[in-house]
A and B are shown apart, each in its own frame.
Chain A
């Protein structure tokens, strides 16, 4: 079993991966703690929350690459799974506030504001971290499984599937916008105080969350790599390229699609759960249709069907976004749209594909 994992990458690739991992979870924190603040080499505290956020996005991109890049099923509704994980974590964080809210009540502030007298039943259990963790791991996956079961069994494909997922995220957004739904309406859940007893304002908590996110992303990447490198992965790409041939070869493609769709939602839910304590808020706008589309764009920009491309794409687009929202906030969406068109038309394999083309040119020059 361990041998199988080691064989996922060549030695050079493993060294590269572990170097990056070491820089991320050892070197950067050390440069924060040991290097004095005046120095240019000092890594400021705010960087960790910011990078943690990007890493969550990278995990989302990884999840989308599994279903879109490898299996050819475009989902424009991954915001839902992300939000489910996020809201579950948010509910736990709300419950951990205790009586320190504005109204000094045992209930979350927004419930007091709405004049609710007791906790709705679906908030029960979120006092417990273990329970919350289980919800995070199970709920998005279960929801995706049920949704996917009906969609794939009815042989809904391509554009139709994408539109349905888009409708799904839109419908859930509207549902969560309502105050009566009991998740804080359009304000969502925010003003968190602590996680597992540690204050969320503390730099050390933020750094720990960032390190946990990095490790989770690393493990998810290895798991995904294992899946796509197995025969199952080859069946998935075969489904993408010629589904009827796969069926006539004796595979129940519904099961395969369900597996990868559920796994994708599972990873996306975890990403949402890690995102919320680092960003400090979760609200229905995460389920905006445009948000889910943006997630797909990360993968397209980075390069579909490579896993590493998805990670790079999420990073590139979000760094660009952070820069734009400061420098020219009004132009961000134009830029994103243009980027998407240019990538689809001229770089169908995205950033990694472009990179591979240049390196192979270099190589052929060398050998010539």
Chain B
């Protein structure tokens, strides 16, 4: 593992795709969490991924972010980054940000510090020891705090935030990271109706500038944001297409929507 993955910032998307998952298989003790999965995400797209529990959604995120290595198959970010050969932090540097299913923020840090830590910048030891925030960077953080509605709570310990606010903070941390591809696992779990609407608007406004993959259960939410939906079932793609088409697909109704 050398630094070349980090230095090469450009992501080759000349073929229109930003993420290529091809023939991915991951098994845990014989159980195939992902089974010959093929998935392509277009540059700038907002894609929703649904599927019953155990369909392999979170495992897929783990494979993309380097947490889990596939037994089989290739994962490419653009055409030039082989994600299966990169570590978590290298993948993050290449431009993939991830929001976990359970909101994961730094509970003992303030809102501002959480964002400061996530901010896109040099992240080696020496820089962290000697550099302080530039005015410009402060402005970026202030801006994002405004977007996620936590400006008032700037100096509050994030452990004191409500569940919904933590979700927002985590999304904010992704924003300051300024990734090309955002992976978002259940962003509206535990949110009120209003917060959910707000989140939908935010995600829609981010599409285009970023490519976004959202894993969600909440159907109304998906209907409000998605153009294209992919249904996972038992580790592979069951159906793929527009929300209306997918909803009317008998296979999908059988395994998921019908229940």
User: A residues engaging B (CB < 8 A)?
Assistant: 4, 227, 230-232, 234-235, 237-238, 241-242, 244-253, 255-256, 259
B173-208 interface code vs A (CB 8 A; 1 in, 0 out): 100010000000000000000000000000000000
Q: A235-B117, A238-B106 are in contact. Are A251 and B129 (CB under 8 A)?
A: no
Classify the secondary structure of A's interface with B.
Answer: helix
Q: A248-B88, A250-B123, A250-B177 are in contact. Are A234 and B116 (CB under 8 A)?
A: yes
Chain A residue with the shortest CB-CB distance to B170: A245
Q: A241-B108, A246-B117 are in contact. Are A252 and B128 (CB under 8 A)?
A: no
Contact B109 A237 (CB under 8 A): yes
B83-107 interface code vs A (CB 8 A; 1 in, 0 out): 0000111001100011010001111
Q: A234-B116, A244-B67, A247-B89 are in contact. Are A255 and B125 (CB under 8 A)?
A: yes
Number of A-B residue pairs, CB cutoff 8 Å, is: 77
Q: Which residues of A contact B116 (CB under 8 A)?
A: 231, 234
Contact A234 B109 (CB under 8 A): yes
Q: Which residues of B contact A241 (CB under 8 A)?
A: 106-109
CA distance A231 to B126 in the complex (A): 10
Contact A232 B106 (CB under 8 A): no
Q: Which residues of B contact A230 (CB under 8 A)?
A: 128-130
Q: Which of B118, B129, B173, B177 is the one whose CB lies under 8 Å from A232?
A: B129
B131 at the interface (CB under 8 A from A): yes
Q: Which of A4, A234, A252, A259 is the one whose CB lies under 8 Å from B89?
A: A252
The listed residue with most A CB atoms (<10 A of its CB), out of B104, B123, B131, is B123
Contact B109 A245 (CB under 8 A): no
Contact A245 B106 (CB under 8 A): yes
Chain A residue with the shortest CB-CB distance to B107: A241
Chain B residue with the shortest CB-CB distance to A226: B129
Closest 8 CB pairs of A and B: A250-B92, A232-B128, A247-B88, A232-B129, A231-B128, A238-B106, A245-B104, A252-B89
B14 at the interface (CB under 8 A from A): no
Chain B residue with the shortest CB-CB distance to A245: B104
Q: A231-B132, A232-B129, A237-B109 are in contact. Are A249 and B177 (CB under 8 A)?
A: yes
Contact B105 A250 (CB under 8 A): no
B113 at the interface (CB under 8 A from A): yes
Which B residues, 14 to 28, have Cβ-Cβ distances below 8 Å to chain A? none
B230 at the interface (CB under 8 A from A): no
Contact A249 B125 (CB under 8 A): no
CA distance A231 to B109 in the complex (A): 11
Q: How far is the CB of B178 from chain A (nearest CB, A)?
A: 11
Q: How far is the CB of B248 from chain A (nearest CB, A)?
A: 37
B108-123 interface code vs A (CB 8 A; 1 in, 0 out): 1100010011101001
